[in-house]
Chains A and B, each alone.
Chain A
Amino acid sequence: MKVCFTSTGATLDSPTEERFGRAPYFIIVETGEGSFEAIQNPYADGAGGVGPKAAQLLITHHVKALVSGLVGGNAREVLGTAGIAMYTYNGGGPVKDAVDKFNNNTLIRS
């Protein structure tokens, strides 16, 4: 299953990013295999409406779950309608810590 983690950088050691629409990178992890792909967020510096745009990007990449700190109302509506589950991870730890917590089912659904 493809799970997206919002990140400040392109690696699993990069600190996580709390914002969704303006996250610099989306790290998409294939949870069964542990492989991942880093996508630079083209909307990170956009003027407005970045939440729905970023959500559309996750839909295009067939993501099934999102782990982030803050997901705004518009993005939440798009993700919810598309059936993408949202989980909260705060504190700015590295992406690999968020991946471990997701795999251990210790993250809370938002």
Chain B
Amino acid sequence: MKLAIASGKGGTGKSMVAANLAFTLSRTRQVTLVDCDVEEPNLYLFFPTPAIVTEVTVPVPVVDENTCQHCGLCGEFCQYGAMTVLPDRVLFFPELCHSCGGCMLVCPNNAIHEEQKRIGTVVISRPLPNLKLISGMLDTGNPHAVPVIQAAKKEAAEDPLVIYDSAPGTSCPVVETMDGCDGCILVTESTPFGLHDLRLAVDVAGRLNIPAGVLINRSDGKDQETLGFCKDLGLEILMTIPFNREIAAIQSRGNLLCQVQPTWQNAFTGLFTKCRDLCKGD
């Protein structure tokens, strides 16, 4: 079973839910937790432990100026503006390149070959006997999150129960994280901004045909608008976590709510049961 945790709005508590759900489930079964928020991964902060680091690379074109006839076909082909062909040289902008390889294919003079460029790392650890943590980490200054997310997800491909912690928003990194999942928890808060972005996230999950349920975090009890929205769309409220200073304090110290206050494990076990039903389509 593959479960994504997304939100739309940032800071609603995706990582808090992911970390506590994985911790609770690992007490009874094998769990893999994948941090797909590769631009600012943070799950490793809850599970400090030695890890194995592997590099993630992508192919980028290299032009042989001696063979190149500066015909301009590669520049015309590139949809991202990464290749600009001047009469006497080619300018390449690596941060615009999407590694599609098209420039190499259209070159009539075989003047382009590919070399590997490092863009990030995948970090794997076993913080608990039944918990495998995989963190995708994009190198600072690199704009392409998707290949790092793909590399992180690949490390969990054969695992039986995987929880993917997504980046906020609804753009490519979120779509890449959700793609192929059996279900999705959308973590929201009862603010106008939270509801606005929840609508967008629900739309993305729907377009990807992934069953989604909603978790309301930091609830102050005035959740009527969010509850109304969910009722109208037939979205199940999987769990509600109250606005509580002690929960925030535990979280901000880098501790796990379910470890410090073990009674919360029942609530997260209940969340998992609901998610399993959601994934089955019940």
Contacts and interface: CB of A to CB of B under 8 A. Distances in A.
Q: Is the interface of A mostly helix, strand, loop or mixed?
A: helix
Interface string B239-253: 000000000000000
Interface string A56-77: 1001000000000000001001
Interface residues of B, number: 13
Nearest to A83: B86
Nearest to A55: B84
B160 interface: no
B80 interface: yes
B229 interface: no
Contacts of B96: 48-49, 52, 74
Contacts of A46: 81
Contacts of A43: 81
Q: Which of A46, A47, A50, A59 has the most CB of B within 10 A?
A: A59
B91 interface: yes
Nearest to A46: B81
A81 B81 contact: no
A50 B96 CA distance: 10
B86 A49 contact: no
Contacts of A74: 81, 93, 96
Contact of B91 (A47, A48, A81): A81
Q: Is the interface of B mostly helix, strand, loop or mixed?
A: loop
A52 B86 CA distance: 11
A49 B75 contact: no
Contact of A81 (B75, B78, B80, B89): B89
A78 B80 contact: no
Contacts of A48: 80-81, 96
Contacts of B80: 47-49
Nearest to A49: B81
B86 A51 contact: no
Given A52-B96, A56-B75, A82 B81 contact: no
A81 B79 CA distance: 21
A53 B86 contact: no
Interface in B222-255: none
A37 to B, nearest CB: 21
B87 to A, nearest CB: 8
A48 B95 CA distance: 11
Interface in B43-58: none
Interface in B68-118: 75, 78-82, 84-86, 89, 91, 93, 96
A84 to B, nearest CB: 11
A49 B80 CA distance: 5
Q: Which of B78, B84, B86 has the most CB of A within 10 A?
A: B84
Interface in A29-56: 43, 46-53, 55-56
B89 A52 contact: no
Nearest to A53: B81
Contacts of B75: 56
Given A47-B80, A53-B84, A74-B96, 9 more contacts: A46-B81, A48-B81, A49-B96, A52-B81, A56-B84, A56-B85, A78-B84, A78-B86, A78-B91
8 closest A-B pairs (Cβ-Cβ)? A49-B81, A52-B81, A49-B80, A49-B96, A53-B81, A52-B84, A78-B84, A56-B84
18 contacts: A43-B81, A48-B96, A49-B78, A49-B79, A49-B82, A49-B96, A51-B81, A52-B82, A52-B84, A52-B93, A55-B84, A56-B84, A56-B85, A74-B93, A74-B96, A81-B86, A81-B89, A82-B86
Interface of B: 75, 78-82, 84-86, 89, 91, 93, 96
